[in-house]
Amino acid sequence: MNILLLGSGGRECAFASKMAESRHLSQLYIAPGNAGTSTYGKNINLKLTDFEGIAAFVLKNNVEMIVVGPEEPLVKGIHDYFLERSDLSHIPVIGPQKEGAQLEGSKDFSKQFMIKHGIPTAAFKSFSKASLEDGLKYLETQKLPIVLKADGLAAGKGVLICETLEDAKNELKAMLADAKFGEASSTVVIEEFLTGIELSVFVLTDGKSYKILPEAKDYKRIGEGDTGLNTGGMGSVSPVPFADAKFMRKVEERVIIPTIEGLKKDNIPYKGFIFIGLMAASSADGKEPFVIEYNVRMGDPETESVIPRIESDLIELFMGVADENLSEKELKISPKFAATVMIVSGGYPGEYLKGKTLSGIENLRNSVAFHAGTELENGVVKSNGGRVIAITSLQDNLFDAVQNATADAGRIYFDGRYYRPDIGGDLM
């Protein structure tokens, strides 16, 4: 079948590499894609929110399935758009409809959903511009640090962890009264600060049953030893040693099953990925999972460590999602360890350099490269994003995976390149 994959990051490059192995694939199109995805299919210059343009392309090229990488088209309703048009409604979209996408598109919606279905999460209260004064009073009753979250999508910047009451009050005012994050902060969730270790758990669902994909740990800070500014993610590893069978059983029983059942009870159709961002808090009974957030897509750079561990045909699994017979499909996961090191451009996550020529990709020894912010210019690979290229190694143990991915990251060169040398170090 012909498939259109939407997105242009390392996540989509990892998806593309895996989909290209499938016996079900005829032609893969990636919109807009990057220099890496073009080795697995044909890049198409389409905007992710141009639903009409996407539809016209799909009809002209007999596309039979759409796989959505990032959240924005989902939150804006690409799946609903396809269902509403009689000439498109037979084409499956992997990714939830607008209502389900609210799990990521609205923090208030996702918190209400968790409370309603008894899913463990941090205590919270939501405030709007009209209730700003109540919000300021509420802050005075809370422990520090305290977490403020813009309700809507804010390009990953909408979460603030405030150490002082003064800071929290100023930020709440900035968000509600001065629209710090625009429309996204017209509602703010004030949330208890959780302590523990973070973990990303991924589920694929057809709305009836689910498959738990390999879990991963993401390294969000720019600097060695988890210091400095937050980024989209500087690396990942999978599996995560502390997420043992006992912990994952708690996650399945307390979080995954109530989430899938909750969607059913609330009549929210859902076909696609659910990314559950967890805090594993210590207790006398080991670690306990609390949900920090849902995302309605895979994580990036988690996908670059998750996909190499999936041995089953990814398109076959997507067909199971589309046909609502996912429970009949097999998910085979490699017991090996994957580590991903993200190479970024100098200055990221602030202003960064672009248009730098990459070299050394052919020199990788025990890793694969998943392109993120790259483009081809007359056959030459150039950087065009902050996160430029992800290097993933799959090995028998975590140490070897990390060592090989890090050593191979060092074999890639471009002006101003930077990567963290300590990905996975905290887990060994």
User: Does 122 participate in binding ligand AMP (rule CB under 6 A)?
Assistant: yes
Contact between 75 and ligand AMP (CB under 6 A)? Answer: no
26's tokens: 């005829």
Q: How far apart are CA 421 and CA 416, in angstroms?
A: 15
DSSP assignment string, 52-88 = HHHHHHHHHTT--EEEE-SSHHHHTTHHHHHHHSTTT
Q: Binder to ligand AMP among 234, 292, 388, 394 (CB under 6 A)? A: 292
What distances in angstroms separate CA 228 from CA 159, 309, 321, 418, 427, one per listed residue?
A: 16, 30, 40, 14, 20
d(CA 115, CA 127): 17
- Contact partner at residue 383 from ligand GLY, ligand AMP, none, CB < 5 to 8 Å by partner kind: none
Residue 132: phi and psi, rounded to 5, are -55, -45
Interface stretch with ligand AMP, choices 44-52, 81-89, 168-176, 190-198 (CB under 6 A): 190-198
Cβ neighbours, 10 Å, residue 111: 24
Under the binding rule (CB under 6 A), the answer on residue 218 touching ligand GLY is yes
Specify the residue, 301 or 320, whose C-beta has the smaller distance to ligand AMP. 301
Measure the CA–CA gap between 148 and 161, rounded to whole angstroms.
6
Among residues 75, 147, 172, 184, which is the contact residue for ligand AMP, using CB under 6 A?
147
Q: What are phi and psi of 62, to 5 degrees?
A: 50, 45
Applying CB under 6 A, among 80, 198, 226, 316 the residue interacting with ligand AMP is 198
Toward ligand AMP, which CB reaches closer, 157 or 264? 157
With binding defined as CB under 6 A, does residue 159 bind ligand AMP? Answer: yes
216 - beta bridge partners?
A: 200
Among 138, 193, 399, 413, indicate the residue that binds ligand AMP (CB under 6 A). Answer: 193
Asked if 281 interacts with ligand AMP (CB under 6 A), we say: no
The rounded distance, in Å, linking the Cα atoms of 149 and 152 is 9
Interface residue with ligand GLY among 64, 108, 302, 313 (CB under 6 A) is: 302
304 binds, among ligand GLY, ligand AMP, none (CB under 5 to 8 A by kind): none
Judged by the rule CB under 6 A, the positions of this chain that interact with ligand GLY are 218, 233, 295, 299-300, 302
Judged by the rule CB under 6 A, the positions of this chain that interact with ligand AMP are 122, 147, 156, 159, 191, 193-194, 198, 277, 292-293
